[in-house]
């Protein structure tokens, strides 16, 4: 086994780290405070060819692998999770279904603009009655004169309501199968389609500079050819998309934990109490050491999941393990970072305050911790 990154991976890490430190860090606090979507940063991500990292060059992507994607997401989340989730949701959830299951016409129409970051993609799975029970989709799509007529609602959807949002791929009931079970299919709905409305953005605990809002579909008509993949394959398709998405979210957890450790160590070396730097106290050293050790383990688990996917091997179990591990780690690491900062950790001017608020969602989104435990247990044969 070779644990060293390739020259290309190291160059990418350096490039994204420089961009995050020089261009994201100076504005991250203001974007969070004002809840402003980072249009300029997304444009720059597109210019750096980071909005389509794992997709082939022939469809407009960077032609890199999943490990490169995980590294980039990690470096972004180390500085700001709102920017990281914007790229992550766009790539893993918004673009991936069209790349994996789209028709040649759909791929030709949407992938070049999505992979360039000119447009953002979204994925509409979660509903008021379909969260962890993702198969309990209530949104319906009925064929009528060569068009799908969509009625229903989605919630907690990322990237669907910005000025550069291009489309959303949604799950919907399209009938029943031969055994009378609910038939679920994926359908592409472009922004601007009559009957498709994006609701008011949520007031969130964290990820304040990212776009998250409910969606409604009322007699929304799209052409029959907007079906993504075979009719009735929607359930299998979104399970595959979620597996891939967990690698990106795991990388976010690693990056956020690393950012919290960086800030905590820097503060501990600057802050003095009882005549010396607080980093010299064993109580502080123990916190730093434990978090650093957990990050090293979580990073390897996340990279292993990316490696397995790139090798075209089954990665579902490891991706779920990585997502479970890193979400919990991000919560712990940010909490310890706030604790090391003391009262200053509770002040918004310090990044660890934002990090702490941003961490909790990593144990909920892309499948809760409890869902990850179910996936893992089933893979073990329990």
Q: How many whole angstroms separate alpha carbon 327 and alpha carbon 331? A: 7
User: Following DSSP, what letter does each residue of 279-318 receive, concatenated?
Assistant: GGSHHHHHHHHHHHHHHHHHHHHHHHHHHHHHTTS--HHH
Q: Is the distance from CB of 210 to CB of 162 less than 8 angstroms?
A: no
* 224 is known as an active-site residue: no
- Residue in 109, 294, 366, 370 annotated catalytic: 366
Q: What is the CA radius of gyration of the chain?
A: 21
Strand ranges inside the chain, DSSP E:
120-124, 140-144, 147-158, 165-176, 182-190, 196-198, 212-223, 227-228, 272-273, 276-277
Beta-carbon contacts of 323 under 8 Å, excluding residues fewer than 6 positions away, are 246, 247, 249, 250, 253, 366, 367, 372
Neighbours of 193 (CB within 10 A): 17
- Which residues have a catalytic role annotated? 366
């Amino acid at each position: 086994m070779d644990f060293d990154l390739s020259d290309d991976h190291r160059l990418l890490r350096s490039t994204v780290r420089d961009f995050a430190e020089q261009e994201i860090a100076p504005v991250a606090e203001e974007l969070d405070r004002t809840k402003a979507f980072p249009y300029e940063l997304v444009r720059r991500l597109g210019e750096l060819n980071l909005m389509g990292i794992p997709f082939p060059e022939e469809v407009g992507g960077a032609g890199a692998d999943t490990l490169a994607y995980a590294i980039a997401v990690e470096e972004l989340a180390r500085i700001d999770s709102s920017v990281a989730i914007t790229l992550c949701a766009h790539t893993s959830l918004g673009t991936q279904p069209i790349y994996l299951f789209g028709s040649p016409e759909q791929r030709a129409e949407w992938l070049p603009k999505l992979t360039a970051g000119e447009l953002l993609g979204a994925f509409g799975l979660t509903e008021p009655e379909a969260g962890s029970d993702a198969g309990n989709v209530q949104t319906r799509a009925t064929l009528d004169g060569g068009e799908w007529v969509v009625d229903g609602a989605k919630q907690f959807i990322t990237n669907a309501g910005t000025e550069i949002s291009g489309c959303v791929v949604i799950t919907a009931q399209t009938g029943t199968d031969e055994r009378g079970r609910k038939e679920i299919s994926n359908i592409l709905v472009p922004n601007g389609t009559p009957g498709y409305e994006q609701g008011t953005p949520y007031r969130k605990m964290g990820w304040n500079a990212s776009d998250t809002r409910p969606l409604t579909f009322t007699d929304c008509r799209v052409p029959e050819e907007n079906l993504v993949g075979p009719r009735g394959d929607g359930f299998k398709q979104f399970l595959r998309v979620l597996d891939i998405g967990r690698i990106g979210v795991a990388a976010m957890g690693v990056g956020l934990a690393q950012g919290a450790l960086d800030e905590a160590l820097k503060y501990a070396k600057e802050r003095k109490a009882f005549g010396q730097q607080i980093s010299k106290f064993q109580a502080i050293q123990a916190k730093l050491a434990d978090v650093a050790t957990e990050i090293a383990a979580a990073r390897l688990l996340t990279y292993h999941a990316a490696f397995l996917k790139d090798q075209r091997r089954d990665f579902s179990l490891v991706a779920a393990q990585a997502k479970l591990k890193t979400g919990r780690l991000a919560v712990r690491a940010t909490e310890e970072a706030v604790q090391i900062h003391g009262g200053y950790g509770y002040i918004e001017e310090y990044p660890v305050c934002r990090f702490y608020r941003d961490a909790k969602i990593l144990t909920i989104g892309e499948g809760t911790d409890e869902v990850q435990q179910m996936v893992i247990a089933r893979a073990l044969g329990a």
